[in-house]
């Protein structure tokens, strides 16, 4: 089976192996640059990133679009991160076994090279975790299960103090205030991340967190895989949810690739936008 990916832009016709395509992607780091913040989604042609699923309280990535080849690239992006941004929602999902996957970098044998990649570069074995939450409804056992990583709960200064105290005293998580309301104001995020020593930050949460980042000018790059199929459905998520962005966030194309092998029989394009 060919593992080759066809580059469409900027060098049309070049072939790449899937493995390694998204490694060594981060901008050069002289130690003085701002934290670099990036995110990644897989979408259908009609813009669905999640649909309801029988027996689940929350939506999920539709199985028609989710695939191992895109998942490999997701893991490569995670391997380069010091910190993952996730949400209170993800941690609640883990308590009812509804999360779609463990937090990366995955423990499966096929990602051993990525775990090794981190060690060779003197990085911690796993990226740390930032949980965006306004409700602070985060199950303490779910935080404790991440004992091998630093965990930061990022919230607004007006969020419920007693809940925050309970979370911090009941786990190894640290609290970080970012914004004056109860929600995170991402226009203040970069200096907070810099204080933590973060260089590369990967947002793996959903559309409300991505909206927060874009609205606060705290998204540098978007990796977007488009699976070549149409799903329909009326209750769905796109990759951004929130008030209209004014002005619109412009994200010029950096690169685009064609993967003919997945989803089977149709393929997918992988685009990289931003800086």
Ligand X SMILES: NC(=O)c1ccc[n+]([C@@H]2O[C@H](COP(=O)([O-])OP(=O)(O)OC[C@H]3O[C@@H](n4cnc5c(N)ncnc54)[C@H](OP(=O)(O)O)[C@@H]3O)[C@@H](O)[C@H]2O)c1
Give the range of 85-93, 110-118, 144-152, 262-270 binding ligand X by CB under 6 A: 85-93
By CB under 6 A, residue 229 contacts ligand X: no
Minimum CB separation from ligand X for residue 11, in Å? 26
**Residues 102 and 145: beta-carbon distance below 8 Å:** no
Which CB sits closer to ligand X, 101 or 112? 101
Cβ-based neighbours of 163, under 8 Å, separated by 6 or more: 136, 137
DSSP state letters, 15-31: EEESTTTTTT-SPP--S
**Paired tokens of 101:** 């996957």
Minimum CB separation from ligand X for residue 240, in Å? 9
**In whole angstroms, what is the distance from residue 248 CA to residue 201 CA?**
23
Number of residues that bind ligand X (CB under 6 A): 29
Minimum CB separation from ligand X for residue 183, in Å? 4
By CB under 6 A, residue 132 contacts ligand X: yes
Which CB sits closer to ligand X, 100 or 165? 100
Minimum CB separation from ligand X for residue 222, in Å? 11
By CB under 6 A, residue 263 contacts ligand X: no
By CB under 6 A, residue 212 contacts ligand X: yes
Chain residues 25-64 in contact with ligand X, contact rule CB under 6 A: 41-42, 49-50, 58-61
Minimum CB separation from ligand X for residue 157, in Å? 12
Tokens 């970069």 belong to residue: 190
Helix (H, G, I), strand (E, B) or coil at 117: helix
**In whole angstroms, what is the distance from residue 60 CA to residue 90 CA?**
11
Which CB sits closer to ligand X, 75 or 237? 237
By CB under 6 A, residue 130 contacts ligand X: no
DSSP state letters, 64-113: TT--HHHHHHHHHHHHT-SEEEEEHHHHHHHHTT--SSPSSSP-SGGGHH
Which CB sits closer to ligand X, 60 or 269? 60
**In whole angstroms, what is the distance from residue 126 CA to residue 205 CA?**
17
**Paired tokens of 270:** 């992988």
By CB under 6 A, residue 133 contacts ligand X: yes
By CB under 6 A, residue 269 contacts ligand X: no
Burial 78-94 (b: 16+ CB within 10 A, else e): bbbbbbbbbbbbbbbbb
Which CB sits closer to ligand X, 42 or 193? 42
Which CB sits closer to ligand X, 1 or 235? 235
Interface ranges with ligand X (CB under 6 A): 41-42, 49-50, 58-61, 87-90, 100, 132-135, 137, 155, 183-184, 205-209, 212, 237, 241
């Amino acid at each position: 089976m060919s593992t080759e990916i066809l580059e469409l832009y900027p060098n049309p016709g070049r072939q790449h192996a899937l493995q390694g395509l998204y490694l060594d992607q981060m901008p050069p780091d002289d130690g003085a640059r701002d934290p670099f913040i990036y995110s990644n989604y897989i979408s259908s042609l009609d813009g669905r990133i999640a649909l309801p699923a029988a027996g689940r309280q929350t939506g999920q990535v539709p199985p028609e679009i989710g695939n191992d080849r895109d998942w490999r690239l997701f893991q490569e992006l995670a391997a380069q991160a010091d910190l993952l941004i996730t949400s209170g929602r993800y941690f609640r999902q883990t308590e009812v076994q509804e999360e779609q996957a463990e937090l990366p970098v995955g423990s499966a044998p096929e990602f051993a090279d990525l775990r090794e990649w981190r060690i060779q570069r003197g990085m911690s074995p796993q990226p740390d975790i930032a949980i965006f939450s306004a409700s602070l409804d985060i199950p303490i056992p779910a935080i404790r299960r991440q004992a091998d990583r630093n965990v930061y709960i990022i919230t607004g200064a007006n969020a419920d103090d007693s809940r925050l105290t309970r979370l911090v005293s009941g786990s190894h998580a640290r609290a970080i205030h970012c914004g004056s309301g109860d929600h995170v104001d991402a226009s203040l995020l970069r200096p907070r991340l810099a204080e933590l020593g973060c260089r590369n930050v990967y947002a793996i949460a959903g559309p409300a967190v991505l909206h927060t980042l874009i609205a606060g000018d705290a998204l540098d790059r978007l990796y977007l895989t488009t699976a070549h199929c149409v799903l329909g459905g009326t209750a769905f998520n796109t990759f951004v949810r929130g008030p209209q962005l004014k002005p619109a966030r412009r994200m010029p194309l950096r690169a685009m690739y064609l993967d003919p092998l997945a989803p089977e029989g149709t393929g997918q394009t992988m685009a990289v936008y931003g800086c």
